[in-house]
Chain A
């Protein structure tokens, strides 16, 4: 196997496995095992790729370029940069945990379910590695197809409404992006992201941004979020907020900022205002949310705002912090939603009014929720703190009051996260919490502990990401050079 094809293998392996799962008449157990195995192999392949990745070298690595539609200069062009490598890593790790969770809880219609989860893995990896606009679009939409069915079939009672909102919102954004892609690509004479020259068109920039702010989501484009996050099965919500939402902010970095330097500069203040608004607004909503998932859902939205704030600050620190925060928050959010799933399975509810006192007699649950929650609220020394600090420092370099708004939101983050922790773990015992509700089982621990472990490792060494995202350059120089 040549090294370059590793990227393609990372996309095709899960999609191929999805087809195998759909076609082969395997038992439920065999299907789940196969899916878990494939997702672990993905993690292994990613580690192999990361090990072979030359962090000192500029430009695209592990790239493959084959013509797809010749006369319009569309190609199958994939490859990874430093920052996309980390996002691919986030994807495969998160998907492995979520597929494992699906196996653990024994989702019914196993073949359909695991096939879709594997397909989603492939499509998401595809988003982060594609270097052609049409290919990017295909994967960007491709993520939506399995998500739609996963929420619609395995979701809660209000799933039908949730799926319609999810799809109509996100498709509205991405179809506008399709129009922008057509115009941009035909004007540039190529759809290749590496070769295409930067554009000064503000309309095109806004067309791309619409898709990304809906996916992320930023206020006021988050209408789909509460329903989707609440109705989806917990592991799908975890994917949605931990990984899929990152595709939105990744798109801002890879396409909107890089390919539209002038419009990005022109609109930077407006978008930062939107991002800061999202940060504060979503934090307040998270503080008011009456249930576990609501808090985590709005906190992810707040973090999307924070990441966008870092990206559009246009400073080195902002970029570094944003990439670190994408990965760190992805892991946090997956852990929290999986723990939320575990709590819901034990108590049948996520309502704070009905929960409480779960720490007593359940040390593992308490420790893990506490650890993840504390990392999430950016306690000094945590990965999240490093990310937030960098982002706020970047924002501060732009104007001091951006940092003030951001810091204020971090206080809010501490408030809602501590509220969550105490509502679930402490306080008086909730009416739905019975003594029979067990602590986290080994299966669940095996899913959440590694995630928290990675988070702790990142907390110890955030430079693993911040120093290895932009190939020895300063991030601003790399963005300016379009990562070439």
Chain B
């Protein structure tokens, strides 16, 4: 008789809902006639992600006192639940954008994979030991590798899938190796037990442990695409189907950053001074590389990829502070960031569909006047990214910089401010292209012929993203309270 642990089914309800929906969508690929497959799979995916949002909100409300469940393998607390809400909301928007943007042959499989990877991420953010951490990382990564390559008729898509697979596997390997070293040093895989053992056995500063920590940081750095682990990002973001890029740039980053802070605070509190400095360094590297590389990009997706690297840098400023304020700042920042990142890629997807070629600054000309809503939304996202007070990005930056200052790192505040200044140039480049260059001379607008597709669902998704990014400026109070309660689950 095998002893099975007690399972708190409700704590993993979000994951179960997503997995269930994923299974149904996959069945649709075989059972539902081709004519209805797209509608069916998209509907299942939309319902699944809405259901997942509902359960995560419920979990947030119902998990005031965080604790571990299922053989201490998973955290049921507000930190997990809030991240799950953001991830599932992103997944829902991805469904809306993908409906008209996924190749016909594998549409049901695509939605199934999308749900599966969302499930993986929602599990990942609650991981409580190195084993569940690694398994869930692979779980969502493998789904993402396939999603990147799903448009396999296009060379870029295949290339993106392959690159992501190879570099991602390298990151996973590093994470796994690091985990092994940490296990070797402490004889434990549970985060809390690791911290306990380090404390009780005086392993503080132990070479094996520190090496393991460094490799874990590197492995997670790949997922959050922070420099110097970023080199895959522009290529993969450029090559992957744009809805997938939108999903990766927002949800993956949320998952990776949220989990990283959890691991560091829970498993390695004694090494705070080490990882604080490590992440401050990574943040600076991301800010410098992301911003300066973005300056010279002509392809909008590549520019946004570098911008996402630089934003990883900003969020890492909050993370590196390693304080409750930093955690709050990180969680708050993720809300407008994921909305803006998602929304801007969704708009690129719309333009891409219209033109049939990759979107560059040149062929973005006049777009703002042709499609006023998408143009205005892009305008808001770009100004929001740049930290102008048109959205929550402004408060997010203010918060992370405040966290850095409270931590005593005025120099990091100055680096952040300078990075913002550099970033203005390329964000405004988009606005300039949208509104200030004549569209007639481009000569590509006619390629698709006729008026652009109406795409009400894409508009709805962009509208949602716009609402969240602008709304988070006004609803700072409530959001911060939510983030505060979430961060209270972590041991600060």
Residues of A within 8 A of B (CB): 22, 67-72, 109, 134, 137-139, 141-142, 144-145, 148-149, 152-153, 159-160, 163-164, 167-168, 171-172, 175-176, 178-179, 182-183, 186
* Cross-chain contact A160 with B369 (CB below 8 angstroms): no
Report the minimal beta-carbon distance from A184 to chain B, rounded to whole angstroms: 10
What is the interface of chain B, defined by CB distance below 8 A to chain A? Answer: 325, 328, 369, 376, 383, 388-390, 394-395, 398-399, 401-402, 405-406, 410, 413-414, 417-418, 420-421, 424-425, 428, 431-432, 435-436, 476-477, 480, 484
Q: Contact: A22 with B413, CB < 8 Å?
A: no
Contact residues of B: prevailing secondary structure: helix
User: Please, how many angstroms separate the alpha-carbon atoms of A240 and B220 in the complex?
Assistant: 48
Complex contact A149–B431 (CB within 8 A): yes
List of A residues within 8 angstroms of B369 by Cβ? 109
**A70 near B480: Cβ-Cβ < 8 Å:** yes
Are A163 and B432 interface neighbours, CB within 8 A?
yes
Given contact pairs A68-B477, A149-B431, A164 touches B425 in the complex (Cβ within 8 A): yes
Tell me which of A67, A160, A171, A178 contacts B436 (CB under 8 A).
A160
B421 near A179 (CB under 8 angstroms)? Answer: no
- Known A-B contacts A144-B388, A149-B431, A183-B405; the reply to A168 vs B376 at CB < 8 A is no
Question: Is the Cβ of B388 less than 8 Å from the Cβ of A168?
Answer: no
Interchain CB contact under 8 A, A175 and B398 = no
8 A-B pairs with least C-beta separation: A138-B389, A152-B436, A175-B417, A179-B417, A69-B476, A179-B413, A141-B389, A141-B388
8 new A-B contacts, CB < 8 A, other than A68-B476, A139-B389, A175-B421, are A69-B395, A138-B389, A141-B389, A152-B431, A176-B417, A179-B417, A182-B413, A186-B406
- CB atoms of B390 and A145 under 8 A apart: yes
B485 → chain A closest CB, angstroms? 12
Neighbour of B402 across the interface among A139, A153, A168, A186, CB < 8 A = A186
Known: A68-B477, A141-B388, A168-B424. A149 touches B376 (CB 8 A): no
Inter-chain contacts of A163 with B (CB < 8 A): 428, 432, 436
Which listed residue (B390, B402, B420, B477) contacts A182, Cβ 8 A?
B402
Residues of B within 8 A of A67 (CB): 477
The residue from A69, A144, A149, A172 contacting B477, defined by CB atoms under 8 A apart: A69
Contact status B421-A172, CB under 8 Å: yes
Find the B residue at minimum CB distance from A144. B388
Do A171 and B424 touch across chains, with their CB atoms under 8 A apart?
Answer: yes
- Say whether, besides A68-B477, A70-B477, A109-B369, A164 and B390 are in contact (CB < 8 Å): no
Contacts of B436 in A (CB 8 A): 152-153, 159-160, 163
Bound-complex Cα distance A175 to B410 (A): 14
What CA separation (Å) do A287 and B424 show in the bound complex?
A: 35
CA distance A72 to B403 in the complex (A): 10
Q: Tell me the bound Cα distance from A375 to B413 in angstroms.
A: 46
Given A168-B425, A179-B413, A182-B398, A145:B406 Cβ within 8 A: no
Across the interface, which residues of B come within 8 angstroms of A138, CB to CB? 389, 394
Q: Inside 8 A of A153's CB, which chain B residues have their CB?
A: 435-436
Q: Which of A145, A171, A172, A178 contacts B398 (CB 8 A)?
A: A178
Q: Once the chains bind, are A167 and B398 in contact (CB under 8 Å)?
A: no
Would you list 20 pairs from A and B whose C-beta atoms are within 8 A, ordered by A residue?
A69-B476, A142-B389, A142-B390, A148-B428, A149-B435, A152-B432, A153-B435, A159-B436, A163-B428, A164-B428, A168-B425, A175-B420, A178-B417, A179-B401, A179-B414, A182-B398, A182-B402, A182-B413, A186-B405, A186-B406
Give every chain B residue within 8 A of A149 (Cβ-Cβ). Answer: 431, 435
Q: How far is the CA of A32 from the CA of B406 in the complex (A)?
A: 48
Which residues of B are found within 8 Å of A69, using beta-carbon distances? 395, 476-477, 480
CB-nearest residue of chain B to A135 = B389
> How many Å from the CB of B246 to the closest CB on chain A?
25
Residues of A contacting B401 with CB < 8 Å?
Answer: 178-179, 182
Q: Which residues of A contact B399 (CB under 8 A)?
A: 72
Would B421 and A22 count as touching, CB distance under 8 A?
no
Chain B residues closer than 8 Å to A148, beta-carbon distance: 428, 431
CA distance A172 to B386 in the complex (A): 12
Residues of B within 8 A of A186 (CB): 402, 405-406
Task: Choose among A160, A175, A182 the residue that contacts B432 (Cβ–Cβ < 8 A).
Answer: A160
Tell me which residues across on chain A come within 8 A of B390, comparing CB atoms: 142, 145
Partner of B410 from the list A22, A109, A160, A183 (CB cut-off 8 Å) is: A183
Q: Contacts of A145 on B, CB cut-off 8 Å?
A: 383, 388, 390
Known: A179-B413, A183-B410. A72 touches B432 (CB 8 A): no
Q: Smallest CB-CB separation from B386: which chain A residue?
A: A171
* Chain A nearest Cβ from B103, distance in angstroms: 36
In the complex the two chains form, is A134's CB within 8 Å of B480's CB? Answer: no
Q: Do the beta carbons of A71 and B480 come within 8 Å of each other?
A: yes
Determine the residue in chain A with the shortest Cβ distance to B380: A145
Closest to A140 in B: B389
Which listed residue (A71, A142, A176) contacts B484, Cβ 8 A? A71
Give the Cβ gap from A75 to chain B, nearest Cβ, in Å: 10
A contact residues around B421 at 8 Å (CB): 168, 171-172, 175
Kindly state the separation between the CA atoms of A137 and B388 in the bound complex, as whole angstroms: 10
CA distance A176 to B390 in the complex (A): 19
Residues in chain B near residue A160, CB distance under 8 A: 432, 436
Distance in Å: Cβ of A64 to nearest Cβ of chain B: 16
CA distance A70 to B428 in the complex (A): 32
CA distance A72 to B389 in the complex (A): 17
Q: Among A109, A139, A175, which residue has the most Cβ atoms of chain B within 10 A? A: A175
Q: With A and B bound together, what is the CA distance between A378 and B136 in angstroms?
A: 75
Nearest-Cβ distance from residue A157 to partner chain B, whole angstroms: 12
Q: How far is the CB of A130 from chain B (nearest CB, A)?
A: 12
